Amino acid sequence: MVGIAPGRGRGWPDVELGELIDVMAQVADSMRYPVEIEDALAAITAGAIEAVPGIEHASVSITSRTGQIQTLAPTDILAVQADELQYELGEGPCLEAVLDQPVVQVDDIRTDLRWPAYGPRAAKQLGIGSQLAFQFRAEPHARGGLNLYSSQPHTITEETRQIGLLFANLAAVALGWTRHAQSLTVALGSRAMIGQAVGVLMERYRLDPDRAFSFLVRTSQTANIKLRDVAAGIVEDTINQAK
């Protein structure tokens, strides 16, 4: 887990205490043992964009035993695109957090010189203004980061950091409760399945990635079926039609 010194004499004026308690209670409910890691992480990222001031998109980056980094529990397709752009370029706040720094803050991605390839593309292509990433460690082979994105520059405050830290630590706890490597392997496999389903929907209905991902989420929520199962059904249906 990571830690940040508390703010000096500052509260959390942007977030009502009752609202924060409600969100944290919902996240805690998803972490009752035995933990469904996908559900727990999805509750954490959804709670983060609801409760962390200024944050609109969130995801979790996880390293595997081979060192490969993948995204879990993205709140939307933009979070996926931002993460994968950093993986592709080999630079960016989420990579630095996962591999090196406990906390990485970017106030204006357009002008930050630390990531000359990622910054301009993130701003121009994805509309990202600022970014915050927290590193966490759980199981011996489960090291990752909570990635928080905002469309506006200079939106990260001490409150953003403090409340974001709560969610990063919850992600570490959720992964710490994953007693078997198989659970994380299944979650990573589900992420790949969801990506395949998004591609199918894009081609079948001529949708952009954001609308295809939103379609999956709506179908999952309406039918009360896990997102991975909806994705698996779409992929299986496509394979059967091709036979």
Q: What is the pLDDT of residues 76-89, one digit of tens each?
A: 999 999 999 999 99
Q: Which of 81, 76, 37 is nearest to 57 (CA)?
A: 76
The pLDDT of residue 215 is: 82
Torsion, CA 76, CA 30, CA 18, CA 170, rounded to 10: -80
Residues of the chain within CATH 1.10.10.10 domain(s) are 185-242
The pLDDT of residue 196 is: 81
Residue spans of alpha helices (H) in the chain: 17-29, 37-51, 77-89, 93-99, 118-126, 158-176, 181-205, 209-223, 227-242
**Residue 233 confidence (pLDDT) above 90:** no
Give the mean pLDDT of the chain: 80
> What fold characterizes domain 17-179?
Beta-Lactamase (3.30.450)
The pLDDT of residue 80 is: 93
pLDDT digits (tens, 9 = 90+) for 86-100: 999 999 999 999 988
Residues of the chain within CATH 3.30.450.40 domain(s) are 17-179
Architecture (CATH level 2) of domain 185-242: Orthogonal Bundle (1.10)
Tokens of 178: 């994953």
Round to whole Å and give the CA distance between 6 and 8.
Answer: 6
SS3 13: coil
Round to whole Å and give the CA distance between 193 and 212.
Answer: 14
Range 107-115 average pLDDT: 95
**Residue 167 confidence (pLDDT) above 70:** yes
Q: Which of 18, 176, 154, 171 is nearest to 97 (CA)?
A: 171
Among 12-21, 38-47, 196-205, the range scoring the smallest mean pLDDT is: 12-21
